[in-house]
Amino acid sequence: MSLRLSRFVGHRGIAAEAPENTLTGFRLAAEAGFLWVEFDVMLSADDVPVLHHDEELGRTDNGSGPVAVHPLSALKALDAGSWFGPGFAGERIPTFEETIACCRALGLSMNVEIKPTTGREVRTAELVSDMLNDLCPDLTDRIIVSSFVPDCLRIAQEKAPDFLRGYLSDTMAEGWHGAAKDLGCFSVHPNHACLDAGLVTAIHDAGFRILTYTVNDPERAESLIGWGVDAVITDEPLAAAALA
């Protein structure tokens, strides 16, 4: 399989310019020139994969309480745009299925981060894997499935083996290499704060590509790219324009 990474990946769509994890965010990311976007997937109470970063509603919408106790109908009634700006009023929390269709139509490749709420790790990974197999068998060269939760990557490895996996890590603590290898990962996705030139070389020497998050400072992006990282996940369209 030949997967073509781009140097920049729009984080949660294009989080500096549009409400995160929304279809408008993906449209604006595409308009800004991004070829890849990252987004976060968790389950509604009735087991529908939806896009949301936080376990709790409230920061990025006008809801309250855990996402996991709200059925899709309740999540769809929320306004996920006004918090960001009045021009985004009425934006809805998208389902994973709607997001796949949107990104497909826009020609965007997808970094699907499985971001389960506590206790729903297995079910989230199973349903995301099923949906990838059902809806995207033709997009295996345009999707990377990542997670901070090794169990989610293990389930993706078992249930959706045709899709590439990325090992997300905030610290790159000892053991990352064995874990990423056992999970058959294509890439490692470290927090940029834990990277230096030596670690970039070590990750590449171990056979993994590197997508690092979340880099909004153009100088930092330039350093990371100079060390050889394959992609920088960023909220900022300006970074992409400056370094494209």
Residue 213: contacted member of ligand G3P, Mg ion, none (CB under 5 to 8 Å, by partner type): ligand G3P
Which residue of the set 11, 52, 70, 189 is catalytic?
A: 11
Residue 115 β-bridge partners: none
* Contact call for residue 38 and ligand G3P (CB under 6 A): yes
Q: Does residue 233 interact with ligand G3P by CB under 6 A?
A: yes
Q: CA angle at residue 30 from 29 to 33, to 5 degrees?
A: 90
Q: Is 177 a catalytic residue?
A: no
213 interacts with ligand G3P by CB under 6 A:
yes
* Binding of residue 113 to ligand G3P (CB under 6 A): yes
Q: Is 235 in the site for Mg ion (CB under 5 A)?
A: no
Binders of Mg ion in range 96-125 (CB under 5 A): 113
Residue 235 touching ligand G3P (CB under 6 A): no
Q: How far apart are CA 179 and CA 148, in angstroms?
A: 11
Q: How far apart are CA 238 and CA 106, in angstroms?
A: 20
Cβ contacts of 32 within 8 Å, gap of 6 or more: 10, 14, 17, 237, 240, 241
- Cα 144 from chain centroid (whole Å): 8
3-state secondary structure of 85: coil
- Could you confirm whether 204 is annotated as catalytic? no
Interface positions with ligand G3P (CB under 6 A): 11, 38, 40, 53, 113, 146, 168, 189, 213-214, 233
Interface positions with Mg ion (CB under 5 A): 40, 113
- Active-site positions read 11, 53
